[in-house]
């Protein structure tokens, strides 16, 4: 039989690790040893019951501390997550408040030219989809301008113009392709003026060296130059001077087409800037064998309806009268070039002294011959008729045109309401 130690009336209260309860142990070596083993503590030989009981308490305290550290780390992690979540929520709220308060500039799409044109058609009523305008001619004619679509196009132009300035050539090529397709639509060309796209395109044109200009870039510029406001932005600073210098130096037909589009806008102060380059354009007409380039130069000069411009001096100084008459000969030039020559004569005849010089040079008979040859071409008939209209409008040439040519009696109405048929013998 095992020898037992005397039992004392003292007791040890040890908290249970697993269940959170208290365990009342009556002092006894065997009971204490069982408890030590349950707590993964090896009983120390020679220790008293009190000493082994103390080991149990120290082991339980260490486990509590370890558990407390784990709990503290978990609480710290979730505190960081909650902190950043609140920061994100506050940032979004502040952004919304700034937008509502109007501190971020918003575009008023109803101020664009196309919306103003629609407003002039009839009554404009704002709907959820956009602006519904009732036409004045017919109640069934309703034009709906979707402002949402205008905003998308504007954002596309604005974003793409920023991307054009990036260093990635492939990316810029794709973006310019998107801008080109947008610029084809006349109703969206005015949106380019509200972004910084045009200054960036001009910067890219300046960077092109040795006359090698990206065709997509210059094609985009040709399209947007047909809008008056865009043309004004292109000419700001030394824009027109840079374009003229490059076009004349490298004889770039596409650049000259862009310049021609810039010059076509009436009542535009930028048109007066072209008077400084009229002589250089006239020199290119007589000294250049590239017919396409000459055609664009003629078209640019034809657009120069500038008051008090001395056309007589220009034609005499650069010997343009013999050149223009020579182009009227059958087979001397393509029909497109001949048409540009007729348009230029019509513009030059607005100058009284120049009109007298051209009439005395025999241009009237040449125009009649040309009219006989192209009487089925409405464009030719209209342009030649305009030349006669301008010369008849001038008092100094009116009698000559009416008395010597009797051209007015040779026109009779054609099937086309916009043209007249001419029977010249």
In a domain, 232, yes or no: no
- What's the whole-number mean pLDDT along residues 131-154? 44
Statement to judge: residues 42 and 114 lie in one domain: no
Statement to judge: residues 36 and 117 lie in one domain: no
pLDDT-derived band at 280, boundaries 50, 70, 90: very high
pLDDT-derived band at 24, boundaries 50, 70, 90: very low
pLDDT number for residue 56? 58
Structure-block tokens of residue 193: 């003026």
R_g of the chain computed on alpha carbons: 45
Structure-block tokens of residue 312: 């007589």
More confident residue, 157 or 193: 193
pLDDT number for residue 124? 38
Statement to judge: residues 76 and 121 lie in one domain: no
More confident residue, 128 or 216: 216
Structure-block tokens of residue 308: 């008090």
Residue with tokens 């486990």: 63
Residue 60 has pLDDT above 50, yes or no: yes
Q: Cβ atoms within 10 A of the Cβ of 357, count?
A: 19
In a domain, 293, yes or no: no
In a domain, 72, yes or no: yes
* Residue numbers of the domain that contains 65: 11-88
Statement to judge: residues 59 and 135 lie in one domain: no
By CB atoms closer than 10 A (0-12, 13-18, 19+), residue 29 is: middle
Distance CA 354, CA 364 (A): 13
Distance CA 57, CA 3 (A): 27
Distance CA 286, CA 294 (A): 8
**For the range 284-291, what are the long-range contacts, defined as Cβ-Cβ under 8 Å and sequence gap of 24 or more?**
284/248, 284/251, 285/318, 285/320, 285/323, 286/318, 286/319, 286/320, 286/323, 288/251, 290/251, 290/253, 291/333, 291/334, 291/337
pLDDT number for residue 269? 85
Statement to judge: residues 46 and 137 lie in one domain: no
Statement to judge: residues 125 and 70 lie in one domain: no
pLDDT number for residue 399? 82
Q: Report the residue count for the chain.
A: 425
More confident residue, 318 or 164: 318
CA 65 to chain CA centroid, nearest Å? 65
Statement to judge: residues 29 and 139 lie in one domain: no
In a domain, 114, yes or no: yes
- What's the whole-number mean pLDDT along residues 255-284? 92
Q: State the chain's mean pLDDT as an integer.
A: 75
pLDDT number for residue 19? 40
Return the closest-CA partner of residue 77 out of 88, 89, 69.
69
- Outline where 13-48 has alpha helix (H): 29-38
Lowest mean pLDDT among 22-26, 43-47, 348-352, 374-378: 22-26
Structure-block tokens of residue 121: 């058609």
Statement to judge: residues 20 and 125 lie in one domain: no
pLDDT number for residue 417? 53
Secondary structure (H, E, C), 170-227: HHHHHHHHHHHHHHHCHHHHHHHHHCCHHHHHHHHHHHCCCCCCCHHHHHHHHHHCCC
Residue 253 has pLDDT above 50, yes or no: yes
Statement to judge: residues 357 and 413 lie in one domain: yes
Statement to judge: residues 127 and 42 lie in one domain: no
Lowest mean pLDDT among 18-22, 40-44, 87-91, 310-314: 18-22
Statement to judge: residues 23 and 76 lie in one domain: yes
In a domain, 258, yes or no: no
Domain boundary among 129, 145, 161: 145
Distance CA 313, CA 301 (A): 14
Structure-block tokens of residue 53: 């009981």
Distance CA 363, CA 377 (A): 20
Lowest mean pLDDT among 19-33, 293-307, 385-399: 19-33
Statement to judge: residues 83 and 124 lie in one domain: no
In a domain, 123, yes or no: yes
Question: Over the stretch 289-344, which tens digit does the pLDDT of each residue have?
Answer: 899 999 999 999 999 999 889 999 999 999 999 999 999 888 888 999 999 999 99
Domain boundary among 100, 123, 145: 145
Element holding 291 (H helix, E strand): helix 291-302
Q: How many domains does the chain have?
A: 3
Distance CA 341, CA 351 (A): 16
Structure-block tokens of residue 249: 């130096």
In a domain, 190, yes or no: no
Distance CA 173, CA 171 (A): 5
**What's the first-to-final CA gap in the chain, in angstroms?**
155
In a domain, 97, yes or no: no
Buried b / exposed e over 375-395, threshold 16 CB at 10 Å, is beeeebbebbbbbbebbbebe
């Amino acid at each position: 039989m095992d020898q037992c130690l005397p039992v004392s009336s003292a007791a040890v209260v040890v908290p249970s690790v697993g269940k959170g309860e208290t365990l009342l142990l009556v002092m006894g070596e065997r009971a204490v040893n069982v408890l030590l083993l349950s707590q993964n503590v090896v009983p120390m030989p020679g220790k008293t019951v009190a000493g082994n009981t103390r080991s149990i308490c120290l082991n339980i305290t260490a486990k509590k501390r370890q558990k407390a550290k784990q709990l503290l780390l978990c609480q710290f992690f979730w505190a960081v997550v909650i902190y950043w979540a609140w920061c994100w929520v506050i940032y979004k709220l502040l952004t919304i408040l700034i937008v509502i308060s109007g501190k971020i500039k918003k575009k008023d799409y109803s101020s664009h030219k196309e919306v103003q044109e629609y407003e002039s058609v009839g009554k404009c009523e704002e709907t959820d989809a956009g602006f519904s305008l009732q036409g004045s001619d017919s109640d069934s004619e309703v034009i709906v301008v979707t402002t949402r679509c205008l905003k998308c196009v504007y954002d596309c132009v604005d974003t793409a113009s920023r991307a054009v300035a990036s260093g990635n050539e492939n990316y810029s090529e794709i973006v310019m392709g998107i801008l080109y397709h947008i610029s084809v639509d006349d109703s969206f060309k005015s949106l380019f003026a509200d972004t910084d796209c045009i200054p960036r395109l001009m910067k890219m044109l300046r960077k092109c060296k040795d006359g090698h200009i990206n065709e997509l870039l210059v094609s985009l510029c040709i399209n947007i130059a047909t809008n008056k406001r865009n043309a004004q932005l292109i000419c700001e600073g030394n824009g027109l001077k840079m374009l003229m210098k490059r076009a004349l130096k490298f004889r770039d037909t596409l650049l000259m087409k862009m310049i021609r589009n810039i010059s076509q806008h009436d009542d535009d102060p930028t048109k007066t800037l072209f008077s400084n380059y009229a002589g250089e354009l006239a020199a290119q007409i007589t000294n250049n064998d590239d017919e396409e380039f000459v055609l664009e130069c003629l078209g640019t000069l034809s657009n120069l309806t500038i008051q008090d411009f001395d056309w007589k001096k220009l034609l005499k100084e650069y010997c343009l009268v013999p050149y223009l008459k020579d182009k009227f000969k059958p087979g001397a030039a393509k029909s497109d070039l001949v048409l540009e020559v007729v348009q230029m004569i019509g513009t030059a005849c607005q100058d009284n002294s120049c009109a007298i010089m051209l009439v005395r040079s025999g241009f009237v008979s040449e125009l009649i011959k040309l009219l006989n040859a192209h009487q089925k071409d409405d464009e030719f008939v209209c342009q030649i008729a305009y030349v006669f209209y301008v010369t008849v409008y001038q008092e100094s040439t009116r009698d000559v045109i009416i008395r010597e040519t009797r051209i007015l009696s040779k026109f009779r109405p054609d099937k086309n309401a916009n043209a007249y048929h001419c029977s010249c013998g």
